[in-house]
Amino acid sequence: MDSNGYSDPFVKCLKPDMGKKAKNKTQIKKKTLNPEYNEEFSYEIKHGELAKKTLDISVWDYDMGKSNDFIGCQLGITAKGECLKHWYECLKNKDKKIERWHVLFHQNNMEAEAD
């Protein structure tokens, strides 16, 4: 949360082994603590190779002129807890949308990226 009591969150999707063309971001939702996104991104990949790959989906607070703050969950093979369970459920259910709500958290030990 910023000093005004709100955040300016956005979601970042990154498939690290594909370089810049694999980076996608949602729109920034200004001044909210309860963002909802109805945006989709897709990547071409064989289902059998998916478990060996990493897709990093993370939530960030946009800060103009300084580093963005990590404020959310991450989905992918390096995730933990419910986020990791969600990732495994996605891997098990080919061609099916798996939707879940995730509680956002602030993780001080994660370095923010300025984008």
4 lies in some domain = no
CATH at residue 63: 2.60.40.150
Quick: pLDDT tens for 9-57. Answer: 999 887 766 666 678 899 999 998 888 888 888 777 777 777 777 777 7
Q: Are 97 and 42 in contact (CB under 8 A)?
A: no
pLDDT score of 2 more than 70: yes
User: Given this model, what pLDDT does residue 17 score?
Assistant: 66
Q: Does 15 map to a domain?
A: yes
Instruction: Kindly report the average pLDDT of the chain as a whole number.
Output: 78
Quote the number of domains for the chain. 1
Q: What angle do CA 81, 34, 91 make, to 5 degrees?
A: 35
Residue 46 lies in a domain: yes
Asked whether residue 1 is domain-assigned, the answer is no
Residue 80: other Cβ atoms inside 10 A: 9
Range in 56-60, 102-106, 111-115 the model is least confident about = 111-115
Q: Does some domain include residue 113?
A: no
